[in-house]
Amino acid sequence: MLVGHIPPTNREGGFGWGGNSMADVDKTSGTGGMRDPLDATVGHDDDTPADESGEQHLADLERTMDAMRMGVVLLDARLDTLIINKAYRELSKIPEGAVTVGASFSRLMDLNRRNGIYGEIDEQEWQRYLASRIAEIRAGSVAPREFVHADGRTMIFSVTALSGGKRLLTYYDVTEVKRRDAEIERANARTAETFSNLSLMVDSMPIGVIVVDAELRVEVINRAFYDFWKVDPLRAPAGISFRDLMEATRAADPFGGEERNWQSHVAEREAEIRAGAAGSRHLPRSDGRTLIASLAPLPGGKRLISYVDITDMKQRETEAEDARRNLATVLESLPAGVIIYDRDDRFVFANRKLQDTLPALKPAWQPGCTFREALILGHSVGYFRSSGDTQIDSLYGVDTERWLDAMLKRYRLPNSAYERLNADGRWYQVYDMRTDDGTFIGVRVDITDIKVREKALRDSMRQIDLYRHVMDELPVAAFIKADDLSMEFVNKAWCALTGFAKDEVLGKTDRELFASEEADGFSNDDTGVVATGAGREVEESVTHRDGTVRQLMTRKSRLVAIDGSVHLVGSSTDITDVKAREQALRQTMSENEVFRSLIDNVPVSIYAKRSDLRQFYVNKGWCDLTGFSREEAIGKTDVEIFGADGEAFVAGDLAVLRTGETQEIEETVTLPDGSVRHQFARKGAMIASDGSLYLIGSTTDITELKQREAELNEARQRAVLADRAKSEFLANMSHEIRTPMNGVLGMAELLAKSDLDPKQKTFTDIIVKSGNALLTIINDILDFSKIDAGQLVLDPAPFNLAEAIEDVATLVSTRAKEKDLELIVRVQPGLDGQFVGDVGRIRQIVTNLLGNAVKFTDEGHVLVDVTGERAPAGTKLTISVTDTGIGIPEDKLKLVFEKFSQVDTSSTRRHEGTGLGLAITSRLVEMMGGEIGVDSAEGKGSTFSFTVTLPRAEQSGQRIMPVDVTGARVLIVDDNAVNRSILSEQMASWTFDACAAESGAEGLKVLIAAAAYGVPVDCVVLDYQMPGMTGAEMARIVRNTAGLAHTPIIMLTSVDQSLANTTYRELGIDAQLIKPARSSVLLETLVATIQRHRHSSAAAHPAVGGGLSQAAPAQTATSDRAMLQPPPVRARQRPAEAERGLDILVAEDNEVNQMVFTQILGETGYRFEIVGNGRKALDAFGKLNPRMILMDVSMPEMNGLEATGAIRKLEQDTGTHVPIVGVTAHALKGDRERCLEAGMDDYLPKPISPRALLEKLERWLGPDIETRRSAG
């Protein structure tokens, strides 16, 4: 409101400003319009000169009014405008011409209101305010008063009553004046605050301060002054004279004693103050403290006098000087040289020790001399040649400037330490540092004696190491114990004698190492030797760690070291053999004789040679081995004894003496009788106590051993041949077994297709099943034999993992359905598709695990789960098979992967088997570098899983979802939770929008709700067998429900649940898949079904003006069959049908197999011919011109491989190529490779099943078998 924003008492008439100049007033009102008071200024009548003068006067008045900074408005008696000056228009922001002379005051007020002068105000209040202002102006003059403009400016407004009822309104903007007044007030406040703070600061200063005026009257006295002079502030307040102030301090002033001296002292102080240039002076106090008085002139003749108590400072200066002298004394007395430079590298101090060390540098160690000057002088006299830094030293005599820069750079480091060799040959340890303020401090410690002692210590340590090595290599067990009888040292011989390692022994006593009885004996002897100092030689026994007991001759003595420590030194010689011979010979020998006898009687040739390699000692074994006597050998070299053979011995001996390394080699020597002996020699160097060098060697005759090695090699070769014979036997047995099996199974399958009564049909089925079971057993035995013999070799190649797993699941699905089991396959979404590995063996592993799961599960489900994670070598795959079967007892889990192992070994067991399946599986996984394991509980099912890391093959590319089906809505209806989870996961990975229902009723609710919301489902994936409402019943309801009838349905059924054609058509099922549905097939079926439905919808409701064309169905992945197509070759020229002689040529020597081929091929409609061997096949090829050849590998006269090679040579001349499929009963690794290497195009193992044969025919001759059967 206006009252709230601008109080009514402060609103002075409004800003009634106009836009007319004073000239406008004149022109409007005429000559008589500007009388009282303005007409008096004109002073003329209506004559022309007077008019001209009046006009000029009005113009001058207009300019005068416009030049005024005060806004002026003149109103007539009716309160209409007569004059509005320029300042008023500018203050009210009224454009020129916005108002004219004669405009009412109300008009001016309204204009000001619109310009925002009065802020926000409603109409009713405005009218009241306007009426009050008009009434106030009509009433007469209004004294000047302030009011605040709406934009924040402050105005002075006044009204002056003129004659004739006129009113003069004036407006003056005082905003700037008010602002300056406010600033002055704030400045005064700040000044007062600053003065107060300054007074407090001066009063709290530790310096006594007084200020005197020109008359020497004291204006300011602070607290410190009173404290310094011990004056009561009440006795000497501000305002007293300086003389009176001096009188108040007289008691503390040393001049205050005699009156005459005191008056003279006061007069001098007054004179100094008036002069204003006394400076600083020391003033002693009577209590012994000292003040410094300082005088400073101030304006107006005033003087500032300050007093500082320097008593403590003087004391600190004295103490600092004492400390400096003490420090200098310490530095001079240090045994190390000390030098100090300031932050600018100028000399500060060098003690006497350093000056004596480098006397030539004394001229550079003077105040003001720099570091660089000292280095230059030192370089000139040969100092600092060895600085401890090879790079700096390399510059010394080459580049002086670079040397100086490098030295200065090192001296500027925060810290450095190094060793330096001075020119006088003495070594110094240098420590340099820079303090935080840049001061350099260097310390030079003479370490020459330390270096000498270090060298002596190194020499001593080398000798100790040498002695330790000698002690360690002694063939006698040596040991040293501390005074508490704990082990300090043992050598290798001691460790060999006891069986302990060195680190197990050191620091321990005998009681911690040996049995109590033995340890007591050792300790008692040791205690006596340590206590008395008398050496002892005792026979004792020691038990080796392995339990053997050795007899020892031990010598012990006490050793007192230089430092006074007491040690026990001992050595033990193994005299077990000596004692045995003593017992046998019943005589006493000295230790040396026993030793010689021992060496002389060991069945090993032992010898010793001097450094010139002449024989020093040979034992009896050596004489027996070489046939030479001691007399013939001592003093001679090997060349002199053995002739040319000795040269090799000498070369080896020299290498041992040169390197000190023990040498073990095989040698041959020719004996005097001409026989050649093989020897194993061991040679080592030994340094005797007198320093002489000897070569110690031993030689063992290994002639018989070499002979046994030769016999062993011969036996090994025979074993290899036997193993090869075993492999051939396995191959031949495979052929001999599979050939009749082929006849049995082939004929049984053909017989099953003929017209049989139920009983005959049952017998035939039993023959087929039993034959297949027997074939499985044979395959397991052969596979395990190959693995056991190490002949099974993996055949890695690129393959699709998901398709391989799904292939196995498809094969097993029939058996699963027979037991009413749910068979589920899950492959981790996003897992790479192509890998490199032996797909056949991977299928074999999965088949075995999956077959076992189905075999041992009576109800529930079997799940195959494939996951993987990236690894450096490829992808680490985990394939697990989980069932809800009988499980495995815990005590049998460790045996399941053993060969011939079965969980149920009773005679009444329900499940048959060889017990080789899991053993083969485990070995295959190991061959692939993987691991296999099992997790099972009896009665709760099992999970077999294996992991293998396979390289990733070049990916054929992910299936690209067509644009028009991406995000399609798919409903999954399945009562099995695992199936729902896997299907949902697959849909998400294919970018479908999927949801799942667990029953038909729930699925119907979802369909109805989706249609109601306008988001109909694009396809339903429906399980056939569900409790309550089957899939067929749900489909029937969907087809009969408006709004749902056209929803595509894909039905998932088991093998024996496939819908009849009539039911299929009746329910309008779009596609039917057999579970478990392969992911690739399911995806392709979904895409095709949704596209077909959308295309039909688009055709039924064509878009106006054209529409988007439907995307072509996604290209499916290349099928296995297409992947196996042979490389394109130039086809053999086909003659006209009338000219063709033959479709298929069969080369098979076995009559039973010939009958099998006849029965199978006879039903195909192809023309075929059967021959008995490879040579006949070669002849028939040239005469009959067949389209395809089935070639048995093992045949008389010419086998299949040879016949194939001959045919390929003939084709080189004609440029043609006939497909040849090898037929073999061999099951060993390499059969397929040998067939392909011989020129065959494909491979068919026996026994031959009709389906396998027909697949080969369809592959190589084309898919026209059914056509030919119908034609036939």
- Reply yes or no: is the peptide bond before residue 1247 cis, omega within 30 of 0: yes
- CB contact at 8 A, 820 and 860: no
Q: How far is CA 49 from CA 27, 617, 663, in A?
A: 18, 167, 150
In whole angstroms, give the CA distance from residue 794 to residue 836: 11
Write the DSSP symbol of residue 562: T
Q: Return the higher-pLDDT residue of 759 and 415.
A: 415
CB atoms within 10 A of CB 784: 19
In whole angstroms, give the CA distance from residue 419 to residue 426: 11
pLDDT > 60? residue 715 = yes
In whole angstroms, give the CA distance from residue 912 to residue 818: 18
Question: Which pLDDT value is given to residue 884?
Answer: 92
Question: Which pLDDT value is given to residue 962?
Answer: 46
Question: CA angle at residue 438 from 437 to 442, to 5 degrees?
Answer: 125
> Worst-scoring range by mean pLDDT, 34-43, 662-671, 1243-1252?
34-43
CB atoms within 10 A of CB 821: 23
Question: Which pLDDT value is given to residue 1135?
Answer: 38
Residue written as tokens 């002489």?
Answer: 692
In whole angstroms, give the CA distance from residue 794 to residue 837: 8
3-state secondary structure of 239: coil
Mean pLDDT for 1075-1086 is 78
pLDDT > 50? residue 759 = yes
Q: Is the dihedral of CA 578, 580, 581, 583 positive or negative?
A: positive
pLDDT > 90? residue 973 = yes
Indicate the pLDDT class of residue 1123, thresholds 50, 70 and 90.
very low
In whole angstroms, give the CA distance from residue 91 to residue 70: 9
Residue written as tokens 């056209």?
Answer: 1046
In whole angstroms, give the CA distance from residue 1002 to residue 1023: 13
* Span 23-49, pLDDT tens digits: 333 333 333 333 344 443 334 444 445
Question: Which pLDDT value is given to residue 950?
Answer: 93
In whole angstroms, give the CA distance from residue 1066 to residue 364: 119
Q: Return the higher-pLDDT residue of 88 and 1240.
A: 1240
Mean pLDDT for 401-415 is 90
Residues with Cβ within 8 Å of residue 818, at least 6 apart in sequence: none
Q: Return the higher-pLDDT residue of 909 and 845.
A: 845
Q: Is the dihedral of CA 1140, 1144, 1148, 1150 positive or negative?
A: negative
Q: Which of 150, 145, 200, 196 is nearest to 171 (CA)?
A: 145
Residues with Cβ within 8 Å of residue 460, at least 6 apart in sequence: none
In this prediction, what percent of the chain has a pLDDT beyond 90?
A: 15
Q: For 478, how many CA atoms within 13 A lie in the half-sphere containing its CB?
A: 14
Write the DSSP symbol of residue 423: T
- Token pair, residue 352, equals 């006497």
DSSP 928-939: TT-EEEEEE-TT
pLDDT > 50? residue 1113 = no
Query: Whole-number mean pLDDT of the chain?
Result: 79
- CB contact at 8 A, 168 and 72: yes
Question: Which pLDDT value is given to residue 382?
Answer: 87
- Helices vs strands, H then E, count in the chain: 43, 42
Q: Which domains does the chain have, with CATH numbers?
A: 2-173 (3.30.450.20), 205-309 (3.30.450.20), 331-446 (3.30.450.20), 475-581 (3.30.450.20), 602-701 (3.30.450.20), 793-950 (3.30.565.10), 969-1100 (3.40.50.2300), 1128-1271 (3.40.50.2300)
Question: Which pLDDT value is given to residue 762?
Answer: 72
Q: Which amino acid is located at 403 in the chain?
A: W
| Cα pseudo-dihedral 746, 752, 754, 756, rounded to 10 | 140
Mean pLDDT for 391-413 is 89
The helix (run of H) or strand (run of E) holding residue 1023 is strand 1019-1023
- Token pair, residue 339, equals 């030098």
* Span 376-390, pLDDT tens digits: 998 888 888 887 888
Q: Return the higher-pLDDT residue of 323 and 979.
A: 979
* Span 1175-1219, pLDDT tens digits: 999 999 988 999 999 999 888 889 999 999 999 999 888 888 999
Three-state SS string over 1081-1115 comes to HHHHHHHHHHHHHHHHHHHHCCCCCCCCCCCCCCC
3-state secondary structure of 836: strand
Residues with Cβ within 8 Å of residue 256, at least 6 apart in sequence: 249, 250, 262, 286
Q: What's phi and psi for 612, nearest 5 deg?
A: -85, 10
Q: Which of 385, 427, 418, 417 is nearest to 403 (CA)?
A: 385
Q: Return the higher-pLDDT residue of 733 and 1259.
A: 1259
In whole angstroms, give the CA distance from residue 574 to residue 581: 13
In whole angstroms, give the CA distance from residue 12 to residue 91: 14
Asked whether the whole model's pTM tops 0.85, one would answer no
In whole angstroms, give the CA distance from residue 1033 to residue 1037: 6
- CB contact at 8 A, 75 and 177: no
Question: Which pLDDT value is given to residue 279?
Answer: 65
- CB contact at 8 A, 152 and 6: no
Indicate the pLDDT class of residue 1133, thresholds 50, 70 and 90.
very low
Mean pLDDT for 675-691 is 84
> Worst-scoring range by mean pLDDT, 447-461, 962-976, 1125-1139, 1240-1254?
1125-1139
Q: What's phi and psi for 574, nearest 5 deg?
A: -75, 110
pLDDT > 70? residue 302 = yes
Indicate the pLDDT class of residue 783, thresholds 50, 70 and 90.
low
- Reply yes or no: is the peptide bond before residue 796 cis, omega within 30 of 0: no
- CB contact at 8 A, 118 and 150: yes
> Worst-scoring range by mean pLDDT, 244-258, 395-409, 891-905, 1166-1180?
891-905
Residues with Cβ within 8 Å of residue 921, at least 6 apart in sequence: 844, 845, 848, 849, 897, 932, 946
- Token pair, residue 8, equals 């009514």
3-state secondary structure of 995: strand
Mean pLDDT for 9-13 is 38
Q: How many residues does the chain have?
A: 1272
pLDDT > 70? residue 533 = yes
Mean pLDDT for 980-997 is 88
Mean pLDDT for 415-422 is 87
- CB contact at 8 A, 159 and 168: yes
- Token pair, residue 67, equals 């030049």
In whole angstroms, give the CA distance from residue 515 to residue 786: 55
In whole angstroms, give the CA distance from residue 1191 to residue 1246: 12
pLDDT > 60? residue 8 = no
Burial class (CB in 10 A: 0-12, 13-18, 19+), 425: exposed
Mean pLDDT for 43-59 is 57
* Span 857-871, pLDDT tens digits: 989 999 999 999 998
Q: Which of 947, 940, 955, 942 is nearest to 925 (CA)?
A: 947
Mean pLDDT for 316-331 is 72
- Token pair, residue 440, equals 């350099």
